[in-house]
Amino acid sequence: MPQAKRPAAGSKAKGAARSTGKPARPAKSTKASKASKAGSRPAGKAAGPTRSERLDAARRQRQRRGLYLRLVLGAAVLAAIGASVYAGATSQNQDRSLVADLTSGPGDCAYDTKFDGTTRTQSAHVPSPTYTVDPPAGGAHEPSAAPPGFYNPGNVPSDGKLVHAMEHGFVVLWYQPDLSPEDRRELEKLSDRFGRELIVVPRISLEGEAAVTAWHRRLVCRQLDPEAVGLFTTSFKDQGPEKGFL
């Protein structure tokens, strides 16, 4: 039987070379492919916030700003309240101290804030007003005011004109007509000291020797106390609701 021919060694190598061609490249894995796609962005650069994240951040910022403004406003309100309370307490302490000084002298003086009428009628002009508070320190009054000066019995302005003068900030010193010559000289000294700020008038209905009044304030004394009268006048002159006359 004829034997089959064996291919030459060189032909086998050559055929193998033809069957495979160029050496095959290793296939890229899925992980490598994803890594390659991810690597298309610059290294180290993270993705920006989303729209929802930006809105949340803006909302939080507004909330912080609103809280800050409320805290600032609350602190300002508390400071204003504290200042008002402090000022009120200081004013009350000053008033108590002043009243103590006015009433602690030798004149046996009593201080009060009595006046006729109501707060609504204080600026009313009437032709012939009458007063229950003696001496008067406020209320409806005549259209014209009493001029400043030192008045003797028989030449005294009406109560309505004197109250109008107090509304303008003048202080009125009332005295008993039968004061001693020494006390009379004290009255003249007070009139010279304060000039047009003090109106000096006699009043026979006084319970004591003297009284001094300003708008809604009174100091009634059993004996004339020049020091108390001076302190009262200095403290309450030009304190009426209508200013610019002194």
Is 90 a domain residue? yes
Answer yes or no: do 225 and 121 share one domain.
Answer: yes
**Global pTM exceeds 0.75:** no
Specify the DSSP element, H or E, that contains 202: strand 198-202
pLDDT of 27 above 80: no
Tell me whether residue 244 is in a domain.
no
Confidence (pLDDT) at 106: 95
Q: What six digits make up the tokens of 110?
A: 């009593």
Classify residue 39: in a domain, yes or no: no
For residues 215 and 199, give the distance between their C-alpha atoms in angstroms, rounded to a whole number: 13
Q: How many CB atoms lie within 10 A of CB 90?
A: 10
Could you give the CA distance from residue 159 to residue 162 in angstroms, rounded to a whole number?
Answer: 5
Q: Which of 64, 81, 104 is at the close of a domain? A: 104
How many separate domains does the chain show? 2
How do residues 82-123 score in pLDDT, each as one tens digit?
665 555 455 566 689 999 999 999 999 999 999 999 999 999
The Cα–Cα gap between 116 and 50 comes to 77
Tell me which residue range forms the domain holding 76: 52-104
Answer yes or no: is 85 within a domain. yes
pLDDT of residue 46: 61
Q: Read off the pLDDT of residues 179-238 as tens digits, 9 standing for 90 and up.
A: 999 999 999 999 999 999 999 999 999 999 999 999 999 999 999 999 999 999 999 999
Same domain for 198 and 143? Answer: yes
Query: With 90 as the cut, is the pLDDT of residue 3 above it?
Result: no
- Is there a domain that residue 119 lies in? yes
Residue 114 lies in a domain: yes
